[in-house]
């Protein structure tokens, strides 16, 4: 059966594209790199050029910012959680219990950041979360509470428990009235981009044409869009968000012209991206900041994991989890899916294109990883 992707191409002219003022004031002024670089084991994550894989995808250049070893927690979410907790404690010193809901990576990161500051963490997880993800949270001394429901249900429970028990909610999504902490989380993610200031974006031209961003609630994508909008207001690279077909809430929201829940089954291997509804704050930025909203079946993400793990000729090997590889999955779909030929042309992805992707997680679920890197795909 052929793999089918779905998409929405935003109109070229989007005169309304402005960053939310309150958000951008914080985003621009904060220097998360100054904080992160003082943490033990801080190292900028590498930028890797994969020229052979680029050739096979019929593009000029492919760069991967590889977050797979960030702070030995194997995912980029450490940057947001640690910065938000640090800023909160700066303003409110003392002992606190931090809580959050998570599909895995964010909860592990909140527990890690709380432990580093000698604070407590309570993490709410959806009932079908993989055992290895629960273990990763427990290793960081996080108390795990299993919620009988999906990611949205876990968020609701974390909100209720925070209110009831006086926990400090460090949630990486936002809703009306809850924007301060998510803004700090998005500001924390900026460290990744500040590292790129030294590695890639050293001149007045971004030197890339496309950025692929795998998205769950969209907070990370909104941070990257804000960075480019501030740094290259007139020559921003084109932004493509990539979501699982069955959990495509950004795509659904742009179609409905307002924040909407996915109509998909939410059955996807890309568990980090399996969030029912976008972040209220991120959506304000992404609705105009994204050029192409793309949703892909799982097989493209699996193929991307395999292409990173079994490198082409002299390319470097990269360890990527299902969600981490999804950006490359989106690029792979645009390269090979015949039904995307028209949109590929319209957006201008071709043999001259220079593309940046991010591997946002390494091996966070080893059993799944072992199985997926050898699984047959339809791609």
Ligand X SMILES: Cc1ncc(COP(=O)(O)O)c(C=O)c1O
| Least distance from ligand X to the Cβ atom of residue 151, Å | 9
Binding of residue 272 to ligand X (CB under 6 A): yes
d(CA 11, CA 308): 33
Which x/- pattern over 111-150 shows residues binding ligand X (rule: CB under 6 A)?
Answer: ----------------------------------------
Binding of residue 360 to ligand X (CB under 6 A): yes
DSSP H/E element including 300: helix 298-309
B/e letters for 190-217, b = 16+ CB within 10 Å, e = fewer, are: bbbbbbbeeebbeeeebebbbbbbbbbb
d(CA 81, CA 181): 9
Strand locations in 143-193 (E) = 143-147, 168-169
Output 83 or 344, the one with its CB closest to ligand X: 83
Output 208 or 221, the one with its CB closest to ligand X: 221
d(CA 121, CA 205): 42
Binding of residue 215 to ligand X (CB under 6 A): yes
Binding of residue 68 to ligand X (CB under 6 A): no
| Least distance from ligand X to the Cβ atom of residue 41, Å | 19
Q: Is the dihedral of CA 287, 228, 332, 280 positive or negative?
A: negative
Output 96 or 214, the one with its CB closest to ligand X: 214
d(CA 37, CA 32): 8
| Least distance from ligand X to the Cβ atom of residue 19, Å | 16
| Least distance from ligand X to the Cβ atom of residue 241, Å | 8
**81 touches 109 (CB < 8 A):** yes
**269 touches 304 (CB < 8 A):** no
Query: Rounded to an integer, what is the distance from CA 67 to the centroid of its chain?
Result: 11
d(CA 298, CA 377): 9
Single out the segment in contact with ligand X by CB under 6 A; choices: 30-38, 218-226, 299-307, 310-318.
Answer: 218-226
**Within positions 70 to 109, which residues make up the interface with ligand X, using CB under 6 A?**
75, 77, 103, 105-106
- Residue number of the CB atom closest to ligand X: 272
Binding of residue 219 to ligand X (CB under 6 A): yes
d(CA 102, CA 155): 8
Tokens of 236: 């921003």
Looking at the annotation, which residues are catalytic?
77, 103
Binding of residue 214 to ligand X (CB under 6 A): yes
Binding of residue 216 to ligand X (CB under 6 A): yes
Candidates 89, 187, 211, 221: give the one binding ligand X (CB under 6 A).
221
d(CA 333, CA 357): 14
**Within positions 295 to 354, which residues make up the interface with ligand X, using CB under 6 A?**
323-324
Single out the segment in contact with ligand X by CB under 6 A; choices: 20-28, 84-92, 156-164, 216-224.
Answer: 216-224
In terms of Cβ atoms closer than 10 Å to its own Cβ (0-12, 13-18, 19+), residue 130 is middle
Single out the segment in contact with ligand X by CB under 6 A; choices: 54-62, 112-120, 136-144, 269-277.
Answer: 269-277
Single out the segment in contact with ligand X by CB under 6 A; choices: 21-29, 43-51, 52-60, 211-219.
Answer: 211-219
Residues making contact with ligand X (CB under 6 A): 75, 77, 103, 105-106, 172, 214-221, 272-273, 275, 323-324, 360-361
């Amino acid at each position: 059966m052929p793999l089918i992707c779905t998409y929405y191409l935003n109109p070229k002219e989007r005169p309304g594209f402005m960053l939310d003022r309150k958000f951008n004031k914080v985003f621009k002024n904060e220097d998360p790199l100054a904080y992160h670089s003082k943490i033990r084991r801080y190292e900028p994550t590498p930028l890797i050029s994969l020229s052979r894989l680029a050739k096979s995808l019929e593009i000029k250049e492919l760069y991967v910012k590889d977050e797979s070893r960030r702070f030995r927690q194997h995912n980029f979410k450490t940057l947001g959680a640690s910065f938000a907790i640090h800023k909160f404690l700066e303003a409110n010193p003392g002992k606190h219990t931090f809580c959050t809901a998570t599909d895995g990576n964010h909860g592990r990161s909140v527990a890690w950041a709380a432990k580093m500051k000698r604070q407590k963490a309570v993490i709410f997880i959806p009932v079908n979360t993989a055992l290895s993800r629960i273990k990763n949270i427990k290793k960081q001394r996080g108390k795990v509470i299993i919620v009988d429901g999906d990611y949205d249900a876990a968020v609701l429970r974390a909100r209720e428990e925070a209110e009831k028990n006086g926990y400090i909610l460090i949630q990486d999504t936002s809703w009306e009235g809850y924007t301060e902490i998510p803004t700090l989380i998005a500001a924390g993610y900026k460290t990744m981009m500040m590292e790129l200031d030294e590695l890639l974006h050293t001149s007045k031209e971004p030197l890339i044409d496309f950025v692929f961003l795998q998205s769950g609630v969209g907070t990370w994508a909104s941070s990257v869009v804000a960075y480019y909008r501030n740094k290259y207001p007139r020559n921003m690279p084109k932004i493509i968000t990539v979501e699982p077909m069955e959990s495509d809430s950004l795509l659904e929201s742009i179609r409905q012209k307002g924040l909407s829940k996915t109509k998909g089954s939410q059955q996807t291997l890309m568990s980090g991206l399996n969030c029912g509804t976008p972040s209220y704050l991120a959506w304000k930025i992404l609705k105009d900041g994204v050029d192409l909203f793309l949703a892909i079946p799982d097989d493209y993400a699996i193929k991307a994991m395999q292409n990173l793990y079994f490198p082409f000729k002299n390319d470097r090997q990269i360890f990527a989890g299902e969600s981490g590889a999804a950006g490359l999955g989106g690029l792979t779909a645009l390269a090979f899916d015949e039904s995307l030929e028209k949109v590929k042309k319209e957006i201008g992805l071709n043999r001259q294109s220079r593309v940046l992707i991010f591997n946002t997680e390494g091996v966070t679920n080893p059993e799944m990883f072992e199985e997926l890197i050898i699984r047959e795909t339809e791609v």
